[in-house]
Amino acid sequence: MRTETRTDANTPETPAWRDRKRYLWLLGLIAPTALFLVLPFVWGLNQAGWSTAAQALFWIGPILIYLLLPALDLRFGADGQNAPDEVMAALENDKYYRYCTYAYIPFQYASVVLGAYLFTASNLSWLGFDGGLGWPAKIGLALSIGALGGIGINTAHEMGHKKESLERWLSKITLAQSCYGHFYVEHNRGHHVRVATPEDPASARFGETFWEFLPRTVFGSLRSALHLEAQRIRRLGKNPWNPRTWPGNDVLNAWAMSIVLWGVLIAVFGPGLIPFVLIQAVYGFSLLESVNYLEHYGLLRRKRDSGRYERCTPEHSWNSDHIVTNLFLYHLQRHSDHHANPTRRYQTLRSMAEAPNLPSGYASLIGVTYFPPVWRKLMDHRVLEHYDGDITRANIHPRVRDKVLARYGGDPRIPPREASGRADLEVTR
């Protein structure tokens, strides 16, 4: 982002702001086109006799998430600039930015169909293979399609918050691949209400491992979505269990899209596609949940005397302003502003100084969440420092609550450096 100065004979100097990331947002289309992009290289490696390397390229999704994006985040660092207030309205209404998200969907589904074909084909001689793919390549292919589905959930997230009916339906269509259509309901009407509280299944607790969090958030979010949608239908004076209401049920019609999508593809490509469907779906929504895990880890909104929680503020979301991952995730890492202004479009989200910051971009940390001791060493002291050493202000996992409070309850103002080392020890026992 930069400002220029324009002057003429009749007007004083006025700054003209230009979004230097305007065309960089198209990099978000790398994920849904990656499979197409690697096929010429697969053919070339096979022609050179490097068949093992050719099959490794089908792992392009995990390679992108765990290697390329973290390396690029390290190389290019943080963005650090916000659009000035005077251009916000024009930037918000610039339809180019929403078209960038719309373009994700046709490429996403073209890749899904291509992936289904490659997974089940028995003759891929045109790619230089003798027969079909081996299972190592098939697993990599399914994970790569799952990766674009996981990133697609974030694209659906951007559209699902908007008021336009078209964008809300496009959100459900994008979610159909990962069979996670209930996210549309739970995220908007559940997570944004309960964020950074013990009641929220999508807010990770201090001392809770990712592997404990994953089943809690998957099944908790599912139950919450069904409950919230049933409540909405009852408020309309209808019975949510009456089949006549099911077409208008936002959970059921989203799931129906998944059934139609994969039912058609299995009919076309055969039951051999079923492992592909399962692998890509589970991996796709697990990527979403690993991001959920790191976005609010250990953060807690205080409960007022009235029994209601305080308003969500920037201090209740972990942020990262690393520019490369932000380009792929449509500024999702500017998460505090998103919770303050859920309908605000991604191009106008701001980096907020009051928000606690992660040590790197989301892509760099997704893999870290899989290793609890490494994650705790990296993040537990940051939670404590954020609360000035007062662990009682954190959202503590019940499994470690007694140990942690016994250790810190008598002296809630432990210096952060001392607290962090002792907390790591206590949680890992």
pLDDT > 80? residue 416:
no
Predicted confidence band of residue 403 (pLDDT cuts 50, 70, 90): confident
Q: The pTM is what?
A: 0.89
Three-class secondary structure assignment of 126-149: HHCCCCCCCHHHHHHHHHHHHHHH
Higher-pLDDT residue of 7, 185 = 185
Domain boundaries, the chain: 22-408
Span 329-359, pLDDT tens digits: 999 999 999 998 898 999 999 998 889 999 9
- In this prediction, residue 170 carries a pLDDT of 96
Question: CA nearest 79: which of 361, 316, 339?
Answer: 361
Query: Would you give the distance in Å from CA 73 to the centre of its chain?
Result: 17
Sign, CA dihedral 241-246-250-251, equals positive
Are 421 and 380 in contact, with CB atoms under 8 Å apart?
Answer: no
Span 387-396, pLDDT tens digits: 998 989 999 9
Q: Where are the beta strands (DSSP E) in 7-96?
A: 14-18
State the chain's mean pLDDT as an integer: 90
Are 348 and 88 in contact, with CB atoms under 8 Å apart?
Answer: yes
Q: Is 82 exposed, middle or buried (0-12, 13-18, 19+ CB in 10 A)?
A: middle
User: Residue 399: CB partners within 8 Å, gap ≥ 6?
Assistant: 207, 208, 212
pLDDT > 60? residue 427:
no
Q: What is the pLDDT averaged over residues 26-54?
A: 95
Tell me how far apart the alpha carbons of residues 191 and 193 are, in angstroms, rounded to a whole number. Answer: 5
pLDDT > 80? residue 46:
yes
- Structure-block tokens of residue 231: 């409540």
Q: Is 126 exposed, middle or buried (0-12, 13-18, 19+ CB in 10 A)?
A: exposed
- In this prediction, residue 134 carries a pLDDT of 94
Q: What is the pLDDT averaged over residues 71-88?
A: 91
- In this prediction, residue 408 carries a pLDDT of 66
pLDDT > 50? residue 278:
yes
Question: CA nearest 299: which of 407, 195, 221?
Answer: 195
Query: Torsions phi, psi of 396, nearest 5?
Result: -95, 135
Q: Where are the beta strands (DSSP E) in 318-423?
A: none
- In this prediction, residue 129 carries a pLDDT of 94
Span 103-154, pLDDT tens digits: 999 999 999 999 999 999 999 999 999 999 999 999 999 999 999 999 999 9
pLDDT > 60? residue 4:
no
Are 161 and 188 in contact, with CB atoms under 8 Å apart?
Answer: yes
